[in-house]
Structure 1
Amino acid sequence: MMDTVAEVDTTASVDETSGAVIDALGFPDEMAALRETITGWVRTCDPEMREALEWQFFGGSKYFRPLTIFACYRAVHGPGPIPPHIMTSALVIELFHNMSLVIDDIVDRSPERRGRSTMHTRFGELNALMTSGYMVAEGYRLLGADLDGIALFSELMRRLGVAEVMQWRLRRKPLGFEDWMTIAGEDTGSMFEVCACLGDRSGNLRTYGGLLGRLYHGCDDVADVRGLPALGGGGKEDLRDGILTLPASLAIAEDDVRTAFCQTDPSDADLDLTAEAFTRALPASEAKLDEIAARAVAEARQFSNDPAPLEALVAQTRQLSGR
């Protein structure tokens, strides 16, 4: 039976994992306010778009990106209420993030995300594309006179476009870990890098954000190989399309794995061989993730007044690989 909007709450919600992360980071009130703001925004949107937006936003979210904004603000500016322009940035990052998910799902031909139909599967590709554009337009409108925010979101849009083209151009290529770091840095890394800059507004935590994004991206890659649903990624799609994931970047150092991975039209045997090799590469992948996490913590300690929120965010992100 096709799932329906009535089967989910008509308010922005979090899943169990995200609720635990929010509590651990100490932002329950801020996140409750953000979810209320998202719900209010959706209900004011054009009726032509509203059902698709409800489907996208009311099915649960990880909220790691707005949490990054809040943590970076708190680490630099200290305790106290999150100011309105930072709260608006947290709302807009959710719009841009969901836009990127819709586009990713179309490109990856993914019928589901986290066990629910993707927007283009449920509402059609045209509606999904137009709704993703609507989200971006609304994001810029909501930013108003925040010129620094506008510049950062424009940077994000450029880099996400570059990342998508780069990732597809480099699929099925015999690349390695440093290449993965570059791709992940422009993909998820750019999103978290911009979040850090939106939170601290000084640029000092930019490198921290980029490392945090790579950590999140790598944990997603590893969780996909393990078959975990935690991040909603596309492990099967990545394997089919020859996407350079973290385990892939390490496993294809072996000649037979590299040959199978680089096949234009891989056979079932090729896919089985690479899948097994990626599983064998999990311990090495986890070690790389530990290195990235340590670098992020070092950045937090060097460039923030109170690194505790940033260290906690790294620790929570690191758990997402499921080891």
Structure 2
Amino acid sequence: MNDYVAIDFGVGEELKEVEETLQRSVRSDSPILTEIAMHVIAAGGKRIRPAICILAFKAVGGDPRNMHSAIDAAVAVELIHSATLIHDDITDEGEQRRGRVTAYRKYGVHNALVTGDFMFVQGFKYGQFLSPESIRIAAEAYERLAEGEMLQEQWRNNPSIPMEEYIKIISGKTASVFSASAQLGAFHGGGNDEQIEALGSYGTYAGIAFQIVDDILDITSDSNTLGKSVGNDIREGNMTLPLILAMNDGVDRKLLSDVVAKRNKPRELVENAIRMIRESRCVPRSIAIAEEYVELANESLSVLEPSPFKTELERLSSSIVARAR
């Protein structure tokens, strides 16, 4: 269960403003473009990145009169993030995202691609109101995201992936945007270099934990709770932490290797792989590793003065792992 979806972490009003700004930002003179973008935005998602951005702003003592800058940064990040998800769904042939039909399935590949491009541009359009340093932070994050996606593609259907390569992949494709969200919030809150760096580390570790938990849920959850088909990563040949641990622990390595290596995977083979991983100790071990990254995330906050917002950042990262239990 995505426990933190219903939690606002003390920034509910700001997140409401983020949501309203997101919806305004995707209105276009083209009705179909607006409709598709609204379809993507209306799916909601967890808005965990905007929450991190706003909490980081407050945790460094940001002036409430400058909150608009943190909200603009959060909106820019969320728009660009949504654009990457549209493109991900096309390349991964995903049928559902957050419990809704994916944009390309509903509106066609061409229209979805154009909408993804539109939302990407809108994200940087909001970025124009920010400083050059903000744009640098965001641009570097999405550069790392692209590198992470390419590295994942290089290891697709390859059962011999080392653990360090897996961490490198998720550090790029997921954690980089968490890190940027935290850095942007701290920067616009007037944080010093040490605080900005520390919050960037917090975002990186929290993002790694988030992706590990997503990997776990792809094995342990069901399609109604997950909002998409279970076992997608195995079908697509993406190496995930539970799968890597299972193969290293000798959980019928031959069968798992065959599943990973096959381009077109029979449903029964995928279901057998999921069952074996569920029955092994690899899921609890994956949860334990995610918890270690949450601890690292919260340790990164030691440079901050005690405050309700620091506490909420700690609660947010801890809630990530709670989803997998």
TM-score with structure 2 setting the length:
0.86
The residue matched to 2:294 in structure 1 has which SS?
helix
Unaligned 5+ residue runs, structure 1?
A: 1-14
Q: 1:97 and 2:98 equivalent? A: no
Q: Which amino acid letter does the alignment assign opposite residue 111 of structure 1? A: E
1:80 shift after superposition: 3.8
State the match for 1:28 in structure 2: 12
TM-score with structure 1 setting the length:
0.86
Unaligned 5+ residue runs, structure 2?
A: 188-195
Which has the higher mean CA deviation after the structures are superposed, 182-191 or 230-239? 230-239
State the match for 2:206 in structure 1: 212
State the match for 2:22 in structure 1: 38
Instruction: Tell me if the contact between 1:18 and 1:63 (Cα under 8 Å) persists in the aligned partners.
Output: no
Could you tell me how far apart the structure 1 residues matched to 2:321 and 2:102 are?
26
Could you tell me how far apart the structure 2 residues matched to 1:113 and 1:152 are?
27
Which has the higher mean CA deviation after the structures are superposed, 271-280 or 162-171? 271-280
1:207-226: per-residue Cα shift (whole Å, max 9, x none)? Answer: 11111101111111111211
Could you tell me how far apart the structure 1 residues matched to 2:285 and 2:3 are?
25
Q: Which amino acid letter does the alignment assign opposite residue 210 of structure 2? A: Y
**Number of matched pairs:** 306
Instruction: Tell me if the contact between 2:49 and 2:78 (Cα under 8 Å) persists in the aligned partners.
Output: yes
RMSD: 2.4
1:230 shift after superposition: 4.8
State the match for 1:123 in structure 2: 107
1:77 shift after superposition: 2.0
State the match for 1:8 in structure 2: none
Distance 1:117 1:262, change over 3 A: closer
List aligned pairs for 1:1-323, cutoff 5 A: 17-22=3-8, 25-44=9-28, 46-77=30-61, 80=64, 83-146=67-130, 147-173=132-158, 174-201=160-187, 202-228=196-222, 229-230=224-225, 232=227, 235-253=230-248, 254=250, 255-265=253-263, 266-267=265-266, 270-279=269-278, 280=280, 281-302=282-303, 306=307, 307-321=310-324, 323=325
Could you tell me how far apart the structure 2 residues matched to 1:282 and 1:182 are?
20
Distance 1:43 1:262, change over 3 A: closer
Q: Which amino acid letter does the alignment assign opposite residue 211 of structure 1? A: Y
Could you tell me how far apart the structure 2 residues matched to 1:45 and 1:246 are?
44
Could you tell me how far apart the structure 1 residues matched to 2:319 and 2:296 are?
15
Could you tell me how far apart the structure 2 residues matched to 1:194 and 1:85 are?
14
1:16 shift after superposition: 8.5
Instruction: Tell me if the contact between 1:159 and 1:190 (Cα under 8 Å) persists in the aligned partners.
Output: yes
1:302 shift after superposition: 3.6
The residue matched to 2:27 in structure 1 has which SS?
helix
Q: Which amino acid letter does the alignment assign opposite residue 258 of structure 2? A: A
Distance 1:177 1:304, change over 3 A: farther
1:264 shift after superposition: 3.0
Q: Which amino acid letter does the alignment assign opposite residue 245 of structure 2? A: L
Instruction: Tell me if the contact between 2:287 and 2:321 (Cα under 8 Å) persists in the aligned partners.
Output: no
The residue matched to 2:45 in structure 1 has which SS?
coil
The residue matched to 1:204 in structure 2 has which SS?
helix
State the match for 1:9 in structure 2: none
Could you tell me how far apart the structure 2 residues matched to 1:277 and 1:250 are?
12
1:270 shift after superposition: 4.3
State the match for 1:4 in structure 2: none
Which has the higher mean CA deviation after the structures are superposed, 42-51 or 191-200? 42-51
The residue matched to 1:205 in structure 2 has which SS?
helix
Q: Which has the higher contact order (CA 8 A, sep 6+)?
A: 2
